[in-house]
């Protein structure tokens, strides 16, 4: 049946000023725009007073495992997201050779969760994407092939550089996964085993990705003390491979590094002036979230997560860990140093017995357990087999706003779908921009913000037929009230749906209807090399 959205203001994603008009949907597509009158064969939605925007695109998502368990992807669709990009930070689901399943599940657990309910024996990206397809996701799903998974398949989890043969194998795997429909290559150079890699292997793989016009998406080696060197490394990879560069969750971590922001801006400009294609995404908060295991020095991670757990048992190694955290290691992003033990909070655990730790900072955790903060954190990581999520406060509001205004920026959630007290961005990143940063603080106009949530990310990743309200584009739409939209979750109480989202339509199917989920799921797995023309 045709569907007519009547009386709304169309903010079409292009950045142009919104205008009054009706939108006609048919067969999952936008069939017509303008002064279309209702007829008997149409379902009519009265959207007067509301903004009709393209569905939001989340370019940094961690639903990779959860989409198989809870395919509605509720926290995303309830905030207006209709497409998300999985496979982030260089560590995700595929490829996953059988012999590494046990260790790899523990490596992912603090970021993506863990479950015995899914089959982990899918092997490569094509099979993983088939699993996602079979789960019938509620929103559209894209996948980046993660550097860490490629490296694991080519050469295991050791801390060393690849041989010539192994590097070639990494390129072959990259090609195989791009052929399976990946949108690019991701890496997370603070995570194992990505961190063991050097720029040369990333240049080699990025050349393959560039052949497919894919994106190189990077959580850079340092977002703190060594951020400028890290940016130079990323820019060099872009220069030497010709790949399009997209920084993940762009930021400067730690008070002592905040004055580097001018140089950060200069480096971006310099790269652009050289003709390197650069962009980045951002979640609008001054705190981040990842797995608590990142507080451990890099050597603790050598050989994979089962080895981490062995080392955590050894008191003399614990002593060395504390020493390295207190004194630092050059080039290593030391979270305890830049955030502080009192600004790192436990966000999630998997075992009931440690649920009392959720919401506490590491000092408070130590007090609760009657131990030193480090000992308490190490015990927690050990008992939970690394399945501990954390929230860390590192940033400055002025930077959030400054990066937000740059033309290279688009919005993301980086939301971790773990139990407990997830970072509120999981439920609120997009509405927060439309409420706080558009309506209240006037950092962006409404049209600019919608552009950064829709057309901008679609262009960056080469998503065809989405991200704008145009005839023949896919009928992914988010309808919201610009006067009331806002995020409602806080760090203390994060699991809260936003206000002001009226309708979310995915491929023509009404998935959110007057703020309520309809239980319908119409998302698709989108494969880059199999897009409709």
Of 35-43, 82-90, 104-112, 504-512, which part binds Zn ion (CB under 5 A)? 82-90
The closest alpha carbon to 530, from 125, 218, 232, 224, belongs to: 125
Ranked by CB distance to Zn ion, the top (closest) residue is 219
* Collapsed DSSP state (helix, strand, coil) of residue 506: strand
Of 13-21, 61-69, 246-254, 464-472, which part binds Zn ion (CB under 5 A)? 246-254
Shortest CB 137 distance to Zn ion, Å: 22
In angstroms, rounded to a whole number, what is the distance separating the alpha carbons of residues 87 and 59? Answer: 10
**Geometric angle at alpha carbon 95, from 91 and 97, rounded to 5°:** 110
Which CB sits closer to Zn ion, 217 or 376? 217
Of 242-250, 308-316, 392-400, 422-430, which part binds Zn ion (CB under 5 A)? 242-250
The answer to whether 174 and 202 are in contact (CB under 8 A) is no
| Residues in contact with 315: Cβ distance below 8 Å, sequence separation at least 6, in sequence order | none
Which CB sits closer to Zn ion, 54 or 395? 395
Which CB sits closer to Zn ion, 24 or 218? 218
Q: Find the Cα–Cα–Cα–Cα dihedral 512, 515, 519, 523, rounded to 10°.
A: 30
**Geometric angle at alpha carbon 470, from 464 and 472, rounded to 5°:** 65
Secondary element (H or E) of residue 288: strand 287-291
Shortest CB 415 distance to Zn ion, Å: 12
Strand 145-146 relative to strand 140-143, pairing = unpaired
Strand order in the sheet with 344-348: 287-291, 389-393, 344-348
Hey, which bits of 409-526 come out as E strands? 409-411, 477-480, 501-506, 509-513, 516-517
Strand order in the sheet with 145-146: 145-146, 184-188, 215-219, 244-247, 278-282, 409-411
Shortest CB 92 distance to Zn ion, Å: 11
Of 63-71, 75-83, 240-248, 295-303, which part binds Zn ion (CB under 5 A)? 240-248
Shortest CB 188 distance to Zn ion, Å: 5
Strand 389-393 relative to strand 287-291, pairing = antiparallel
Shortest CB 111 distance to Zn ion, Å: 8
Which CB sits closer to Zn ion, 89 or 233? 89
What DSSP string describes 148-184? HHHHHHHHTT-SSPPPHHHHHHHHHHHHHHHHTT--E
Of 73-81, 153-161, 214-222, 404-412, which part binds Zn ion (CB under 5 A)? 214-222
Of 91-99, 161-169, 248-256, 385-393, which part binds Zn ion (CB under 5 A)? 248-256
- What's the Rg (C-alpha) of the chain? 22
Shortest CB 248 distance to Zn ion, Å: 5
Which CB sits closer to Zn ion, 89 or 141? 89
Q: Find the Cα–Cα–Cα–Cα dihedral 510, 514, 518, 524, rounded to 10°.
A: 40
Contacts to Zn ion from residues 410-469, by CB under 5 A? none
Of 118-126, 216-224, 453-461, 506-514, which part binds Zn ion (CB under 5 A)? 216-224
Of 71-79, 121-129, 215-223, 495-503, which part binds Zn ion (CB under 5 A)? 215-223
Which CB sits closer to Zn ion, 248 or 511? 248
Which CB sits closer to Zn ion, 219 or 260? 219
Alpha-carbon distances, residue 442 vs 413, 439, 445 (angstroms): 20, 6, 7
Shortest CB 253 distance to Zn ion, Å: 12
Of 212-220, 252-260, 303-311, 498-506, which part binds Zn ion (CB under 5 A)? 212-220
Q: How many residues of this chain interact with Zn ion, rule: CB under 5 A?
A: 3
Q: Is 112 in the site for Zn ion (CB under 5 A)?
A: no
Shortest CB 220 distance to Zn ion, Å: 9
Shortest CB 5 distance to Zn ion, Å: 36
In angstroms, rounded to a whole number, what is the distance separating the alpha carbons of residues 231 and 494? Answer: 32
Q: Find the Cα–Cα–Cα–Cα dihedral 63, 66, 68, 71, rounded to 10°.
A: -80
In angstroms, rounded to a whole number, what is the distance separating the alpha carbons of residues 258 and 472? Answer: 45
Which CB sits closer to Zn ion, 219 or 466? 219
Q: Please state, as a whole number, how many other Cβ atoms lie within 10 Å of the Cβ of residue 101.
A: 12
Cross-strand partners of 219: 188
Which CB sits closer to Zn ion, 89 or 333? 89
Shortest CB 140 distance to Zn ion, Å: 21
Which CB sits closer to Zn ion, 290 or 361? 290
Q: Is 219 in the site for Zn ion (CB under 5 A)?
A: yes
Which CB sits closer to Zn ion, 22 or 187? 187
Which CB sits closer to Zn ion, 387 or 469? 387
Which CB sits closer to Zn ion, 89 or 112? 89
Alpha-carbon distances, residue 55 vs 46, 81, 83, 185, 462 (angstroms): 18, 6, 7, 24, 16
User: Which of the 8 DSSP states describes residue 416?
Assistant: B
Shortest CB 190 distance to Zn ion, Å: 8
Shortest CB 450 distance to Zn ion, Å: 25
Q: Is 89 in the site for Zn ion (CB under 5 A)?
A: yes
Shortest CB 249 distance to Zn ion, Å: 6
Tell me which residues touch Zn ion (CB under 5 A): 89, 219, 248
């Amino acid at each position: 049946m045709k569907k007519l959205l009547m009386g709304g203001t169309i903010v079409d994603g292009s950045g142009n000023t919104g205008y009054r008009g009706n939108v006609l949907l048919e067969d999952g597509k936008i069939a017509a725009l303008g002064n279309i009158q209702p007829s008997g064969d149409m379902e009519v939605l009265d959207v007067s007073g509301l903004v009709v925007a393209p569905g939001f695109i989340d370019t940094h998502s961690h639903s990779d495992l959860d989409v198989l368990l809870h395919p509605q992807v509720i926290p995303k669709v309830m905030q207006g997201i209709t497409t998300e990009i999985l496979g982030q930070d260089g560590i995700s689901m595929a490829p996953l050779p059988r012999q590494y399943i046990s260790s790899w599940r523990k490596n992912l657990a603090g970021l993506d969760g863990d479950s015995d309910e899914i089959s982990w024996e899918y092997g490569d990206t094509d099979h993983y994407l088939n699993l996602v397809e079979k789960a019938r996701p509620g929103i559209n799903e894209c996948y980046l092939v993660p550097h860490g998974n490629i490296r694991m398949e080519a050469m295991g989890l050791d801390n060393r550089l690849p041989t010539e043969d192994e590097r070639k194998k990494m390129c072959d795997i990259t090609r195989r996964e791009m052929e399976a429909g990946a949108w690019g290559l991701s890496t997370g150079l603070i995570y194992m085993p990505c961190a063991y890699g050097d720029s040369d292997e990333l240049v080699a793989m990025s050349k393959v990705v560039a052949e497919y016009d894919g994106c190189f998406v990077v959580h850079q080696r340092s977002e703190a003390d060594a951020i400028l060197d890290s940016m130079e490394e990323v820019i060099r990879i872009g220069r030497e491979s010709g790949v399009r560069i997209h920084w993940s969750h762009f930021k400067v971590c730690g008070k002592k590094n905040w004055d580097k922001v001018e140089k950060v801006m200069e480096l971006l400009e310099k790269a652009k002036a050289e003709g390197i294609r650069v962009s980045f995404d951002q979640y609008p908060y001054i705190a981040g979230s990842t797995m608590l295991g990142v507080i451990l020095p890099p050597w603790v991670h050598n050989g994979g997560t089962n080895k981490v757990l062995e080392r955590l048992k050894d008191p003399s190694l614990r002593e060395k860990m504390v020493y390295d955290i207190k004194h630092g290691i050059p080039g290593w992003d030391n979270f305890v140093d830049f955030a502080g033990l009192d600004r790192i909070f436990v966000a999630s655990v998997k075992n009931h017995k440690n649920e009392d730790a959720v919401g506490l900072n590491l000092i408070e955790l130590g007090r609760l357990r009657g131990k030193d903060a480090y000992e308490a954190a190490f015990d927690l990581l050990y008992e939970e087999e690394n399945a501990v999520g954390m929230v860390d406060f590192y940033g400055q509001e002025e930077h959030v706003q400054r990066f937000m205004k740059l033309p290279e920026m688009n919005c993301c959630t980086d939301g971790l779908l773990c139990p407990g007290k997830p970072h509120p961005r999981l439920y609120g990143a997009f509405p927060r921009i439309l409420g706080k940063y558009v309506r209240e603080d006037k950092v962006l106009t409404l049209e600019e913000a919608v552009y950064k949530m829709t057309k901008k990310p679609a262009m960056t990743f080469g998503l065809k037929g989405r991200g704008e309200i145009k005839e023949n584009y896919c009928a992914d739409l988010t309808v919201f009230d610009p006067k009331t939209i806002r995020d409602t979750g806080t760090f203390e109480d994060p699991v809260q749906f936003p206000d002001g989202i009226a309708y979310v339509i995915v491929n023509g199917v009404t998935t959110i209807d007057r703020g309520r989920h309809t239980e319908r799921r119409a998302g698709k797995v989108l494969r880059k090399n199999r897009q409709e023309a």
